[in-house]
Amino acid sequence: MNALEYFKTHLKYEKDPRVVEAISKKFTEYLRRAEEIRALLDGGAVASGGDAAAATARPKTQLKDKEADRQNMESQLSGVKALSFKEQAIEYVKQAVEEDNAGNYAKAFPLYMNALEYFKTHLKYETHPKIIEAITLKFNEYLRRAEEIRAILDDGSAPPKTKLNDGEGSGKAEGNSK
C-alpha cells in the first residue's frame, strides 16, 4: 500500500477533526509533490546544470491540467471505497494459505505477516466485542502458523501437518496442531 492510499484509508476511520485536517493537508502536499515528480519523469531529462526548479517548470496548460487532476483527486478522497483493513487482511490470508498448502513457505510467511499487520490495524478501530474476539482468535491462529513457518525456514526442519483455512471457514485447523 503506498502512502497516499494509507492516508485515504486512515481518514475513513479517524474521528478527531484535527487529525483529519492534518492528514488531509499532508495528503494534498504529498499528492502535489508526487505530481511534480511524475511530470519530471514524464518530461524527460533534467534541465542543464541539474536545476530542479527549471526542470519542474512546465507549460501553463500542463499546469492547469495537473491542477485539475489534483482537485479531482481531492474531491474524490472522501468518496473512495478502499478495501478495509479486515478485507485486505483476508486477501493476504487467502494467498498465504494457498502458498502454505502448496508448500511454498518462503512465499507464505510474508503473506501471513502482512495479514497480521492488517488485522492488528483493524482491531485498533473495531468496536464490536464479538468481532474483536473472532478476529483475535484468527489472528492468534495465523500468528502461530507464521511462527511455525518461520521455524521451518530458519531450521530447515520438516513442516508440521497443520493446515489452515483461508479465513472464510470455521477457523479450525486440520491435522495436528501444537
Tens digits of pLDDT across the chain (178 residues) = 466 666 666 666 777 777 777 777 777 777 778 777 877 777 754 444 444 454 444 455 555 666 666 666 555 443 333 468 888 999 999 999 999 999 999 999 999 999 999 999 999 888 899 999 999 999 999 999 999 999 999 987 655 555 566 655 444 443 444 3
Assign domain 85-155 one CATH number from 3.20.80.10, 1.50.40.10, 3.40.50.2300, 1.20.58.80.
1.20.58.80
State the cell numbers at 174: 486440520
For residue 53, how many other CB atoms are within 10 A of its CB? 7
Contact 27, 70 (CB under 8 A): no
Phi, psi for residue 4 in degrees, rounded to 5 = -65, -40
Residues linked to residue 163 through DSSP beta bridges, in sequence order:
174
What predicted TM-score, i.e. pTM, was given to this entire model? 0.48
State the cell numbers at 57: 517548470
State the cell numbers at 55: 526542470
Q: Which residue intervals of the chain bear CATH 1.20.58.80?
A: 85-155
Q: What is the pLDDT of residues 18-29, one digit of tens each?
A: 777 777 777 777
Residues 6 or more apart whose Cβ sits within 8 Å of residue 81 = none
Give the whole-angstrom CA distance, residue 149 versus residue 159. Answer: 8
Q: Within the chain, where are the H helices? A: 3-13, 17-43, 52-56, 60-77, 85-101, 105-125, 129-155
Give the whole-angstrom CA distance, residue 62 versus residue 66. Answer: 6
Give the whole-angstrom CA distance, residue 109 versus residue 101. Answer: 12
Give the whole-angstrom CA distance, residue 98 versus residue 128. Answer: 29
- Between the alpha carbon of residue 81 and those of residues 9, 76, 85, the distances in Å are 9, 10, 12
Give the whole-angstrom CA distance, residue 93 versus residue 82. Answer: 18
